Amino acid sequence: MASSKTIKSAFESMLFTWGEPLDVKLAAEIFNIHWKDAYEYFKELQQEYEQEGRGIVIREVDKTFQYVTREENAGYIERLCTPVKQKRLSQSALEVLAIIAYKQPVTKGEIESIRGIKCDRVLEGLEKKSLIAEVGRANSIGRPILYGTTDMFLKHFGLTSVKELPEIEDIESAIHISEAPDGVDLQQISLDLFSTSAGLIRGGAEEEIEPPLPGQKSMFDTDDDEAEAEAGGDTAEAGDDGAGTDEVAAEAAAEAGNHENEHEQE
């Protein structure tokens, strides 16, 4: 069996070459060792990098490990890279993502009952960004799809697991909050749900994310159709309500006219 020094050295090379989060079980298979032993080697490496204050750190995401740059060096990296306009998720997307994160697994119907508006386009957009995924089917009538967050969600919000999400007593109240203390921006209330020590998201601030390569689209690009689709739905509903009101008014006027004619005939 290879020595621990050899294994950790190989793990470093594998992390550098792999790029994406490296699964502990896959790394363990290379050396024909138990995944728990491989996990301990990764944790030792992670601690060594942290103690030496290196510019590269090893981040863990759900039993996978990946090389990332140290957060304190973000300013220097920004100077090196070509400035790219940062994007952020729309308010509706943040609300849906918050509901899924705190109530997963959850159905589309449950999400819509909390928000009070349809969210088909928003769910589609979040799936395209790989922030959520289908995780099963509910046992209720029709077997609706259950949604949950992904490893990509954990990665971009600086979390190791969903257990690290800030605690809130009632997600419904957080989404529908009508009054807030001074200094709280209601338009960005959902951002506060994901406020983490990683500093990736702050209320009212834009996400600090890796800039896309030239010609690529950022995963946080806001889908303009999301807001338009929801606004269109609201307008249609308002139109229906207005039409109903006009019909009632017309009936009342006709009835009043009939009574007036009867009175004149008498």
Instruction: Report pLDDT for 234.
Output: 45
Average pLDDT over residues 181-201: 40
Does the residue 201 lie in any domain? Answer: yes
**Residue range of the domain that includes 182:** 91-222
Report how far residue 220's alpha carbon sits from residue 97's, in angstroms, rounded to the nearest whole number: 13
Task: Collect all residues with Cβ–Cβ distance below 8 Å to 7 and sequence separation of at least 6.
Answer: 31, 33, 38, 41
Provide the mean pLDDT of the chain: 74
Number of domains in the chain: 2
Instruction: Report pLDDT for 183.
Output: 41
Average pLDDT over residues 81-91: 71
Strands 132-137 and 145-149: antiparallel
| Nearest C-alpha neighbor of 153 from the set 21, 255, 249 | 21
**In 64-211, at which residue ranges do the beta strands (DSSP E only) sit?**
64-69, 106-107, 132-137, 145-149
Does the residue 178 lie in any domain? Answer: yes
Average pLDDT over residues 136-152: 94
Instruction: Report pLDDT for 251.
Output: 55
Q: pLDDT per residue over 22-60, tens digit each?
A: 999 999 999 999 999 999 999 999 999 999 999 999 999
Q: pLDDT per residue over 225-245, tens digit each?
A: 455 455 554 444 444 444 444
Count Cβ atoms below 10 Å from residue 69 Cβ, excluding itself: 14
Regarding whether 17 and 64 lie in a shared domain, the answer is: yes
Which of 80, 104, 132 is the last residue in one of the domains? Answer: 80
pLDDT higher for 262 or 6?
6
pLDDT higher for 22 or 222?
22
pLDDT higher for 78 or 93?
93
Instruction: Report pLDDT for 240.
Output: 47
Regarding whether 216 and 130 lie in a shared domain, the answer is: yes
Average pLDDT over residues 212-226: 47
Instruction: Report pLDDT for 258.
Output: 53
Using the structure block, give the residue that is written with the tokens 């039993």. 63
Which of 80, 102, 125 is the last residue in one of the domains? Answer: 80
Are the C-beta atoms of residues 114 and 99 closer than 8 Å to each other? yes
Q: At 35, which CATH number?
A: 1.10.10.10
Report how far residue 167's alpha carbon sits from residue 262's, in angstroms, rounded to the nearest whole number: 68
Regarding whether 100 and 218 lie in a shared domain, the answer is: yes
H or E segment and range at residue 109: helix 108-115
Does the residue 76 lie in any domain? Answer: yes
Residue 136 CA to its chain's centroid (Å): 19
Regarding whether 208 and 98 lie in a shared domain, the answer is: yes
pLDDT band at 211 (very low <50, low <70, confident <90, very high): very low
Regarding whether 123 and 208 lie in a shared domain, the answer is: yes
pLDDT band at 132 (very low <50, low <70, confident <90, very high): very high
Does the residue 231 lie in any domain? Answer: no
Regarding whether 198 and 113 lie in a shared domain, the answer is: yes
Does the residue 212 lie in any domain? Answer: yes
What is this structure's pTM?
0.47
Does the residue 261 lie in any domain? Answer: no
Instruction: Report pLDDT for 196.
Output: 37
Does the residue 136 lie in any domain? Answer: yes
Does the residue 238 lie in any domain? Answer: no
Regarding whether 129 and 218 lie in a shared domain, the answer is: yes
